[in-house]
Structure 1
Amino acid sequence: MSSRTAPYGNWASPITAQAVAEQSLFAGTEDLILDPVTSKVYYAQKRPKEDGRSAIVDASDRQDLFDGSWDARTQLHEYGGGAATVFGDVLYFSHIRDHRVYKTTKGAIPQPITPLNPVLRFADFTVHPKHPDLIVCSVEDHTDPHPARVLTYLVFIDAAKGTFSKLVTGADFYTCARFSPDGNFLVWQQWYHPELPWQSAEIVVAPVKVSDGHTLDVGQVVLVAGKTEEIAAQDPSWASNDTIFFTCDVSGYHNPWKFTFQGTDVAGGKASPILPEPVQEEFGAPQWFLSRHGSGALSATKVAFTAFREGRSVLYVCDLDLGQLVEVPTPYAHIQYMHGNRQGKVIMLGQPADAGEVLAELSLDTHGNAQLKSLSPPPVEDAKLPSACISSAKYLALILDDGRICHVNYYAPKNPNYDGGLPGETPPVLVQIHGGPFYMENSNLEWSKQFFTSRGWAHIDVNYGGSTGFGRAFRESLHGKWGVLDIADAHESVVRLGAMGLVDAKRAVVHGGSAGGYSVLQIATNMLPGEGKKDTEGAFAAGASHYGVSDMRTLDEVLHKFELSLCPRLMGGSWEECRNVWEARSPVNHAKKIRMPLLLLQGEADTVVPKDQATRMVASIKAARRDGKVELVLFEGEGHGWRKASTMQTVLEKEMTFFNEVLGLTNHY
């Protein structure tokens, strides 16, 4: 055997789990902030080595705006986002440890501007351009904590007095409140149960009036777009004092739209698509998290949009008057957190497939041509995370037997110290099933995937039927079929890539988080090696479920307000209407069928999928099969998603050890 040849999965790699966990100190951007007064740029950054807190950083000098005792996060919708804004060098942010809103300047001690009331969650702030002490934001009110009785409304905060008052109520959800440049109008997005915002949502605009400098009043409300359950209008912002832009999926794909009125005649305005013909690309991203905007205004007539094409982000400059799109080439596989100042600048987070994330700025030169530049310092090669080991994703559209398409990102094994595996050998494969389930796995660089590919593994991201980014019909194909379509697509991806000689389908393992963790548990009860098959091809050898769902009924009973109606839609009806389906698709009820070794990883403080889902699942497996290989790891202080470096390191090492034991591979750390 050549010194440059070793069995796949047994390669020695310089990429350690510790290095992967610690790299989040220099990445982990959770939001971008553009000061509309000064045009200065800031960003929110997750700090895994500081118990996962979120800091606000000045992008010009990389200095924090406050010390380590502060954590700029919010739990609105449970998933959070939109925790801070900056206006005229003044930072306003929600502090997750007491849920109050604070005001500060760089280096000063933050001062509260809302009363202490831990049942209220504030997020998604907009500052009045002429009265900067007046701030409008979304509030989630947990006075009655039952998810069906949690309230959401828009409020205005008087930062000078330290008070707040309700501004708009009546809808089930409010987000994206934004003042017009002159401060005379307010636009926002709203929607109602049982919908999610990418399924059905409305854009609303109203005149506003400031009295005595401390009181904000809303005039007659005008519904701009999204009047039916089949239309979702999202992510509104202002191009000028009388033009709003947003996305709307009347065509079946989220495309750019605008609403224009004259003077104060809002009711006389008209909403219309910007493009003469719809584009079969999804503009913007699903709003699981606040502030993940997919557009930003360069001027009163030109707006930057990002769209998805074959699982990657595409950047456009759109002329609102001419209805034209000009594509801007970028090196980024994924773009998010876009913000514009209407004065020639749009900022965004660019995430390449082969390098670390970049804070990027888009501008127009004197001829109107787009220019893209990095605001991040030049990258420095890290010996622990060498670029030579990076395996970039290859997009594949797999046409299945029923004519459906499964969208896949395939990562081949890559390590400069090895030419390949043994003669005739194909690599073991780790399949990743994303959460949501209405989400999409992007193809930007994630070192956790390189942790495996640099050791001789192949890696597959499965964007199964139901994923966003591919149009409404593809997304809605999961309705009534959760726990069926997702696992079928994961299975078919392995079988087809195995037939193509890209992976060893008999050495496939699977992992996923949240809804993806549920899919892993469903796979364990539905795809059994050797049962009803001529061989084990396509059946997974092992699985790791990160904070996954095991019992649909108990999940439905505790699920938070944002996703309150998720289970009935995905099960095909309510518990009372199709109880047999709910029971059939709850893995905890079928522990006797499980032969696949399972690793369950769970946060102790998870409020989205409580730890009871994991502990009951493990107890059921052990009671049903004493010889079953199952392991549970609980992480203190972690919620729904990993934030601590120590957790991230442990998760990677546990998964690698667990999978290697099952497949008979050697651990090389």
Structure 2
Amino acid sequence: MTQGRTAPYGSWKSPVGAEVVAAQSFAAGVEDIFLDPVTSKVYFAQKRPEEDGRSAIVDASDRKDVFGREWDARTKVHEYGGAAATVFGDIVYFSHFPDDRVYKTTKGSTPVPVTPFDPVQRFADFTVHPDHPNLIVATVEDHTDSHPARVATYLAFIDANTSTVTKLLTDADFYVCARFSPDGKFLSWQQWNFPDLPWQSSEIFVAPVSVTESGSRLEIGAAVHVAGKHEQIVAQDPSWTGNNSLHLICDISGYLNPWKFTFDPSDLASTGKAAPITAEPIEEEFGFPQWWLSRHGSGALSNHKIAFLSFKNALSKLYIADLNDGTLTEVPTPYAHIQYMHGDGKGHVVALGSPAGALEELMELTLDPSGKPLIKSLSPPAQEHPRLPSSHISLPQYYALKLAPDNRVCHVTYYGPKNPDYDGGLPGEKPPIVVLIHGGPFYMEPAALDWTKQFWTSRGWAHIDVNYGGSSGFGRAYSESLHGQWGVLDINDAHQSVIELDKLGLVDKNRAVIHGGSAGGYAVLQIATSLPTAFAAGSPQYGISDMKKLDEILHKFEYYLCDRLMGGTYEEIPEIWKERSPIYHVHKIKMPMLFLQGKADTIIPAPQMIEIVDTIQTRGQTTELVLFDGEGHGWRQASTVQTVLAKELKACWLAFREIVRR
């Protein structure tokens, strides 16, 4: 290592190149985990950027694919997808992305369809009957009427022997998380209705189940409301244990105790009982916003023990709750972020663990004979990539910043410049900063290792994740603070966070650039039009430019999203909608802009981005638009990530050169 070497921040030479980062970013690419309840074997879905972004199913025991590269285990339910497969007795059922049919296969055999071809039906979130494995209950999204408000979502059962689909429940606007009890005599599920999103108000129901003597038909009896809306509980992801009891770990009204919610199906007159697990409040948030159907945050470990996740300071925490005596045990882990949790109720819970300074890995939670929790990795030992050395990894630092004008708290994660070949920048120099404002907007940017961030920090940049007001993981009040304030609170948090970090000497506020995707892309555009001199450059990725047009094409899951976040409907407050639509304020843009957009995006269609770019270019502003073939709402191809990094780095240097000229 060169001793005493200094060079301007942002100009450092780094082995962390765009092409290597792009490949390594998808090196594991785990998108979901499946735990076979019969064999306790683990499988996982893996993104394959080198194979047109398809998703493969992999046997974790030998890392071999279940099927060939012509198959793609993805779903378009809720547009965001997730939970596209399940495994039962080594039989894999999965939704095939090109035709939306459900297929059945075992490792090495050719998948065969178990649903008829129907171009308007989409399937996800499967559960297999334990005694009649030909019967699979699934969430079905039916687009016979394509208007978002009239797209039908219901629970149905699939008979894999006859390839038929039969409706079970249709009254609610949304159904997910259907789960059979271990004896197959009961079915639980989560449901909610417009205008809510599932983490705002949802309910859990249970109903008795019967199967015809021939095993070809499944029927359910009268449903019993177990938990949810009426108790102000946002309930999700129910876990059945081996003693045939249904348990939930719930978060009631934000920062409160985790609550255990138990339901004994032998007494269908019961509506369940909720009780706090601990006597002292825990200032953490429990449960994931269900943007993806695969985001499970709990799993049954035994008949009376449930593992579950919480969030604090943008980090995941793991707990085991003993539902008999109410004790709560925190399990230390090396992971900054944990997701895709599943339990078999027989001593195994699996999940994806992502450390702050190493690659993600499959993790398993078990108990030793004395009951002590054990964590072990199910992934092969990681081999350090010679061009992505651990010596260049900048570790996250959490800050709760108090921001102007009202002294409110904003949660940010800071990554400082780090490269062992350099001791720092020029004397008195503060590093330039890349600001990431996440999508969602009800989401949280975790503090797990992300090589795209290390691409910047290893070149002498600071990088921050702004978990602005509206983000999940910091309590319900924080998440709901964005209601009526979208396009105002989020951009103020991003701007003021840079100012506060500048005061701390950590960044140079005059050399700040900002990027983000989806709602983050919208924030970049809002900053460009509302705070035109706050940043040196901006890169919106698949961002929103016109709120009214977004509202007209939003899919069913998000159909009422804009109304709540704008503070009313377009008809009620058209002036607010226009004020917060960047397309009407293009004349205010001063900073250079790099627009990045997938041509196949169905959530933010490319014409929205193209329209605003055309308007900017007619005014002679510095801007560039890059459209990516085969990409939708987010990047799935390594070549796209490589192009994005290279384009953004070049755009930043051009912007800084312009600052020097001025």
Query: What TM-score results when the alignment is normalised by the length of structure 2?
Result: 0.97
State how 1:102-121 maps to structure 2 within 5 Å: 102-121=103-122
Give distance in 1, aligned partners of 2:24 and 2:207: 45
SS of 1:388's partner is helix
Equivalent pairs counted in the alignment come to: 655
| Identity between Structure 1 and Structure 2 (%) | 64
Contact 1:333 1:352 in 2 (8 A): yes
Q: Which residue does the alignment assign to 1:571?
A: 566
Q: Which residue does the alignment assign to 2:577?
A: 582
SS of 1:441's partner is coil
List per-residue Cα deviations over 1:64-97 (Å, max 9, x = no partner). 0000000000010000000011100100000010
Q: Give the CA deviation at 1:230.
A: 4.9
Q: Give the CA deviation at 1:558.
A: 0.2
Contact 2:263 2:273 in 1 (8 A): no
State how 1:463-612 maps to structure 2 within 5 Å: 463-529=467-533, 539-612=534-607
SS of 1:157's partner is strand
Q: Which residue does the alignment assign to 1:310?
A: 313
Change (3 A) 1:541 1:444: same
Give distance in 2, aligned partners of 1:354 and 1:516: 25
List per-residue Cα deviations over 1:280-321 (Å, max 9, x = no partner). 211121110012111111101111111001110011111112
1:157 aligns with 2:161: no
Q: Give the CA deviation at 1:225.
A: 1.2
Change (3 A) 1:528 1:26: closer
Q: Which residue does the alignment assign to 1:660?
A: 653
Counterpart among 216, 223, 226 of residue 225 in structure 2: 223
SS of 1:646's partner is helix
Counterpart among 338, 349, 352 of residue 352 in structure 2: 349
Give distance in 2, aligned partners of 1:254 and 1:242: 28
Q: Which residue does the alignment assign to 1:323?
A: 326
Q: Which residue does the alignment assign to 2:609?
A: 614
State how 1:62-77 maps to structure 2 within 5 Å: 62-77=63-78
List per-residue Cα deviations over 1:558-615 (Å, max 9, x = no partner). 0000000000100000001100000000000000000011111000010000111100
Q: Give the CA deviation at 1:259.
A: 4.1
SS of 1:26's partner is coil
Counterpart among 624, 633, 648 of residue 631 in structure 1: 624
Q: Which residue does the alignment assign to 2:40?
A: 39
Give distance in 1, aligned partners of 2:182 and 2:244: 9
Q: Give the CA deviation at 1:528.
A: 2.4
Task: Give structure 2 stretches of 5+ with no counterpart.
Answer: none
List per-residue Cα deviations over 1:394-415 (Å, max 9, x = no partner). 0000122413110000000011
State how 1:410-449 maps to structure 2 within 5 Å: 410-449=414-453
Contact 2:250 2:261 in 1 (8 A): no
1:384 aligns with 2:387: yes
CA-based RMSD of the aligned residues comes to: 1.5
Give distance in 2, aligned partners of 1:343 and 1:226: 27
Give distance in 2, aligned partners of 1:280 and 1:240: 31
The one-letter code sitting in structure 1 at the alignment partner of 2:607 is: D
State how 1:48-67 maps to structure 2 within 5 Å: 48-67=49-68
Contact 1:199 1:231 in 2 (8 A): no
Contact 2:251 2:259 in 1 (8 A): no
Q: Give the CA deviation at 1:438.
A: 0.4
1:374 aligns with 2:377: yes
Q: Which residue does the alignment assign to 1:265?
A: 267
Give distance in 1, aligned partners of 2:132 and 2:314: 42
Counterpart among 637, 641, 645 of residue 644 in structure 1: 637
Q: Give the CA deviation at 1:262.
A: 4.2
Change (3 A) 1:440 1:490: same
Q: Which residue does the alignment assign to 1:535?
A: none
Q: Give the CA deviation at 1:270.
A: 1.8
Contact 2:30 2:45 in 1 (8 A): yes
Task: Give structure 1 stretches of 5+ with no counterpart.
Answer: 530-538
List per-residue Cα deviations over 1:16-60 (Å, max 9, x = no partner). 111111114421100000000000001000001111000000001
List per-residue Cα deviations over 1:232-258 (Å, max 9, x = no partner). 211112124442222433242476444
The one-letter code sitting in structure 1 at the alignment partner of 2:6 is: T
Deviates more, 1:566-575 or 1:270-279: 270-279
List per-residue Cα deviations over 1:311-355 (Å, max 9, x = no partner). 100111111122221111111000001000111110010000000
Q: Which residue does the alignment assign to 2:238?
A: 236
